[in-house]
Structure 1
């Protein structure tokens, strides 16, 4: 059987994590191609991987100078030689049957816009089962459920057709929400999403000791990008000729999605030690937009207050308490 999926692993100064990501890619139960690309590490990553004798299905790249993540992504897309690709962050892992199960679904329905698997969302070691949809779902339905918070889609759990990614203009330097930049635009053309209803990917949402550029992203920039993405999702839903959709309700849902997403981003900023005075200023300027409904107003009040006044250790514990509580609540609902 020839490889049909490439697993792309970009890395930067996280050698031990990159080893784990690579091991999970190498453990796949079907043949895959693997690209490991070091974006200018200074922690011995290049010395380590350059010294290895690797199988023929692994290609290793090293850059002497670190380039922006957007440029690194464009560099890697150009080097994919299979029809399908998954981008695996160096701090995430795949289960051994990930590629095999995704290929089963793709062969069943080859014209899928993309395929994703259920994923565990990991918060400082606590593993929360992510939400996923049916085996096949129309783009408009997927987007509605995503904005409702009923779908968790992670880049490390999503398989794209590389030709479709090439058809989208590369992520600009002033756009930082990279995964949504691509999959939202792919779905804007309609089509169907495939889902493997098994937990085959591990997405590390938050680790105190591991840096995350998205987690530090400026709140107002995040809000602007989220609005742009929500506008694309809204247009896609409203343009679906098979759905009789209440436009006011869709726009209200989109506003709520942007508000909730931005409020949560303030928490990640605080956990990444962004100065609280800076967060307070951004939240004050965005308050009219973030209080778009009853739910977001409550979240804005609770999360905003906690983000500004709680010391970092207590904020971390509060986050984990909330995640555990929500996980138990969802588990009880499913019984």
Structure 2
């Protein structure tokens, strides 16, 4: 049995899936399984996976019908059997050849840590760097305090997990009430299972494109952050709601501005 799984949920990913797989192929793959869940794609995804079948320790699950995104992610988590895993969206990729080694070392050296995070690099469709997301932390940090800071800032201050211990995950899954904030909800839920660790290197490239689900979900920001407050803390009063609404509106404006910046970069070449 593999010790670590890179789990990739994909739907119609022919434009970027091969890039994600290439970023894994340059890693140290001792004890690593690549688990891809094809969510009944209708494009060339299956052909790409067939090309990579003998080039990676690859296990492919083909869904017979397309599941909603959250259900697909949860179904994929049910199929992970290794001691630890990371979930890599098919349009993202590993930004450092040492990413998996560093992630597994962080878990090995910190046996009470439930999840590991890292700095990020934002890229466009052509892999051009748009920005670096640095979290200004290194080593162990308090995940519960980070969750509360997410509420105060209207932003995901956890980042993207590059490793999660499956024993800590247990039966925890992406919650039914969240899509925009589903990553925050899962990371915060893991806070009760153990500590968190941060690697201050950009190990994951997060792609910004017009296809990102983020743009479709921006209108749900306030309702989902209120849901986070109710689930993990306490429901805010009238003043707290007004403050959170202002914060979410400001962050939404920032995200839209970044989207226009990315579009301008693409147009200018």
Deviation at 1:86, TM superposition (A): 0.6
**What does 1:272-283 align with in structure 2 at a 5 Å threshold?**
none
Is 1:34 matched up with 2:34? yes
- Secondary structure of the 1:168 match is coil
Distance 1:218 1:138 in 2: 27
Matched positions, count: 256
Partner residue of 1:9?
8
Structure 2 residue 173 is matched with structure 1 residue 175: no
Conservation of the 8 A alpha-carbon contact between 1:9 and 1:22:
no
Which residue is equivalent to 1:96?
97
In our comparison, the structure showing a higher alpha carbon Rg is 1
Q: 1:7: Cα distance to partner? A: 0.5
Partner of 1:127: 130
Greater strand share, 1 or 2? 2
In the TM superposition, what are the counterparts of 1:154-173 in structure 2 within 5 Å? 154-155=159-160, 157-172=161-176
In structure 1, C-alpha distance between the alignment counterparts of 2:140 and 2:106, rounded to whole Å: 9
- SS where residue 15 of structure 1 aligns? coil
Going from structure 1 to structure 2, the CA distance change for 1:191 and 1:141 (only over 3 Å counts) comes to same
CA distance in 1, matches of 2:148, 2:264: 27
Stretches of 4+ aligned residues off by more than 6 angstroms: 318-321
Equivalent position of 2:77 in the other structure: 77
TM-score (structure 1 length as normaliser): 0.66
Contact 1:176 1:214 (C-alpha < 8 Å) held by counterparts? no
Residue by residue, what CA displacement relative to the aligned partner does 1:50-80 show, whole Å, maximum 9, x if unpaired? Answer: 3554256210122242111122112211111
More helix by share: 1
Does 2:147 correspond to 1:143? yes
1:232 Cα deviation from its structure 2 partner: 4.4
TM-score (norm 2): 0.80
Aligned to 1:153: 158
Partner of 1:282: none
Could you tell me which residue of structure 1 aligns to residue 209 of structure 2? 207
Unaligned 5+ runs, structure 1? 236-246, 272-302, 304-313, 322-335
Give the Cα–Cα distance (whole angstroms) in 2 for the partners of residues 145 and 184 of structure 1.
Answer: 11
The change in CA–CA distance for 1:123 and 1:146 in structure 2 (over 3 A counts) is farther
Among 198, 216, 230, the alignment partner of 1:195 is 198
- Aligned-pair distance for 1:15? 0.9
1:186 aligns with one of 185, 190, 206 = 190
Identify the structure with bigger relative contact order (alpha carbons < 8 Å, sequence gap 6+).
2
Partner of 1:223: 222
1:76-130 C-alpha deviation (Å, 9 max, x unpaired)? 1111111111110111111211111112211111111211111113367443221
Partner of residue 115, structure 2: 114
Structure 1 contact 123–320 (Cα < 8 Å) conserved: no
Unaligned stretches of 5+ in structure 2?
none
Instruction: Quote how far apart the aligned CAs of 1:231 are.
Output: 4.0
Aligned residues of 1:116 and 1:153 also touching (Cα < 8 A): yes
